[in-house]
Every structure is written in C-alpha cells, then in structure tokens.
Amino acid sequence: MNNRQKLVAAWVALTITSTVFAQSYPVKPIRIIDGFPPGGATTFIGRVVGERLTERIGQPIVIDNRPGAGSNLAAAIAARATPDGYTLFMALTSSVAPAPSLYPHLDYNVLNDFAYVGLLATGSFVLVVHPSLPVQTIADLVAYAKTKPQELRYGSGGIATPLHLAMELLRGRTGIDLIHVPYKGAGPLVVALTGGEIQLGFSSVAGAIPMISAGRLRAIAVTSAKRAKALPDVPTIEQSGLSNFDVTGRYGLLAPLATPAAIIRRLNSETALIVALPEVEAKLNTVGIESATSTPEGFKQIMRGEVAQWAKVIRDAKITAVD
C-alpha cells in the first residue's frame, strides 16, 4: 500500500469512527459555558434553547457561568475542553470578536481554536438620548454635535465593551467629537442617561425599552442591519444615512476545534429547528432578542468579519484594555 492509499484508508477509518460516535451521542449531560453572570441574555438564550434541546436529545443541558475578562475566561476554558461534543461555548460576537485586538496574550484564538456550530439569536443596540437633547435623527445629532465639540457626554458599559465600541464606530464614521464616560455595566449607564448625567449612549433594546416607553429616553436609531421587532418605528442607522453600518449582538454556539463533524452537524440541525419554533421565538422576543440560524461555515464567516471590523475601530480610536 503506497502513502496515498494509507492516507485514504486512515481518512475513511476516521470518518467511520466519527459517524458511529455521533450516532450514539449524547450519552451524558452537555455543558454550555457562559462567559457572563447568570441573568443576562446569554444565560437566558442558553436556558430557553437548552430546555428544548434536552427534550429532543434526552440529556440535560447544564449552563456553566464563568464570568470574567469580557467572556475571554470562558472562551479559553471551552477551547481547551475535550472535543467530544459535551462542552460548548455560548459566544456573543460583539464581545468575543474585539478580543484579539484588545488582548494580545489571549489563551485562545477565536477563529482557529473552535469548531463553529451555528447562530441561535441576534440582538440590536439602540442609540438613545436624553429628552433635553434637541435631536430627533442621526443627521440632527451629527449636525448638533459638530457645533459643540467635546461638550456632549456619552456613556458606555465600560471601556472596550460593545456599547463603547459601537459609539466609537459611529464617531469614526461621522467625525463627531464626544466625551466618553464609562460605567460599570449597562444598568448604571441607563440610570445616568435618564438622570441627565450624560446626554446619549447605546443600550440594548431590552434595557432601553422601559425608559423609551415612559418618555424618559428618546430612541434615535438601532444599530442592526434591519429594524428591531421590539422597536418597529425606529429606523436603523443605515436607513438614517450611514451605509454598511451594522452592529448586531449575535449569539451562537462554538465547540472545541476537533469536535467530530457529525456532532457539529447534529447540533446545528437540532438548534436550528428549536429557535424556529414559534414559542421559542416568542420567548426570545420578550427580552428584545430575535431567533437566528446559520450554517457552521456561515457563523465563522460572520465572526471573521466582526474580528476585522473591530480591529479597525480599536486601532483608529486607539482603544486599549488591561491585559
């Protein structure tokens, strides 16, 4: 048998072994590592999808919250886990994709150390302003801010968080000059904004809706490529005049790199069916999240694009984070 024949035989044997293993999978609980504290969107999505996945595959889905370093701690744990399909990582692209440009000494590579399973959901951010600010649209804001450079204060959930990066992308695209005020999380940001401590900022749609409905905040535009179902009357930033502006929080599952392809395919198929269920979509919509699906390859392509987008924003804005 020549070398080529040996390679073909080895590949066939590996494929057969992987397929047989996948057919018996799963035989024990599956752990989904979540890089944020309990109570957030990632945990909510994991539990909603996990309940249905348990029904379909007959094994419990355990959410393992490992907060720290903007979900980098959890990602590193997942990347090093045994690649047998029993450890998954709930990835939020707007948190994971900027990491390579912010932390030069990461313990993992988001594009090279994972097998991509697929998307589960998406969430938009909304640009909100205090009602005292005399602007109704993105064009109004840009014109007004340019008459008051370094006077308007915007808040974020912290340096290099998605809410900070979204505003830096907007600043870079429009040339407006604002003062950044970082807070310890999105909750304090909304409190400061409604109290008039700052004039504008981005928030998750779910986090801002109560204040928008009460008239304590004014919604200007959402960051996603399409309008948010929860705010159908609010235009996107792209519809407001900035082409190719898309900042969407995308939630999906990753697995350790060498996880058998047959298992990845099964998980992709099962989760795609689950998030398409009307009752699952309705549950996700209650917190401003929308169902989404993708192929494994499609999800990786999305992540690759976000890594490149945030690398440019971070470089141009000279954003640094403690490593």
In the chain, what are the domains?
3-123+247-317 (3.40.190.150), 124-222 (3.40.190.10)
Condensed to tens digits (0 to 9), the pLDDT of residues 156-212 reads 988 898 999 999 999 999 999 999 999 988 889 999 999 999 999 999 998 899 999
Q: What is the mean pLDDT of residues 225-240?
A: 95
Cα-based torsion angle of the residue sequence 240, 205, 76, 87 in order, rounded to the nearest 10 degrees: -120
pLDDT band (50, 70, 90) for residue 51: very high
Asked if the model's pLDDT at residue 5 lies above 50, the reply is no
- Read off the tokens for 182: 């970082």
Judging by beta carbons within 10 Å of its beta carbon (0-12, 13-18, 19+), is residue 190 exposed, middle or buried? buried
- Read off the tokens for 215: 């008239």
Condensed to tens digits (0 to 9), the pLDDT of residues 261-318 reads 999 999 999 999 999 999 999 999 988 899 999 999 999 999 999 999 999 999 999 9
Identify whether the C-beta of residue 53 lies closer than 8 Å to the C-beta of residue 18.
no
- Rounded Cα distance between 247 and 164, Å, is 12
Asked if the model's pLDDT at residue 107 lies above 60, the reply is yes
Identify whether the C-beta of residue 85 lies closer than 8 Å to the C-beta of residue 23.
no
Judging by beta carbons within 10 Å of its beta carbon (0-12, 13-18, 19+), is residue 180 exposed, middle or buried? middle
Rounded to 5 degrees, φ, ψ at 125 are -105, 155
Asked if the model's pLDDT at residue 13 lies above 60, the reply is no
Asked if the model's pLDDT at residue 6 lies above 50, the reply is no
- Rounded Cα distance between 262 and 20, Å, is 9
- In this prediction, residue 169 carries a pLDDT of 96
- In this prediction, residue 39 carries a pLDDT of 84
Condensed to tens digits (0 to 9), the pLDDT of residues 88-102 reads 999 999 999 999 999
Q: What is the mean pLDDT of residues 58-62?
A: 97
- Rounded Cα distance between 85 and 258, Å, is 9
pLDDT band (50, 70, 90) for residue 83: very high
What is residue 179's three-state secondary structure?
strand
Q: Which of 37-41, 231-235, 250-254, 304-308 has the lowest mean pLDDT?
A: 37-41
Q: How far is CA 208 from the centre of its chain?
A: 18
- In this prediction, residue 70 carries a pLDDT of 81
Of the candidates 249, 204, 297, the residue with the CA atom closest to the CA atom of residue 97: 249
DSSP assignment of 226-295 equals S--TT-TTSPBTTTTT-TT---EEEEEEEEETTS-HHHHHHHHHHHHHHHTSHHHHHHHHTTTEEE----
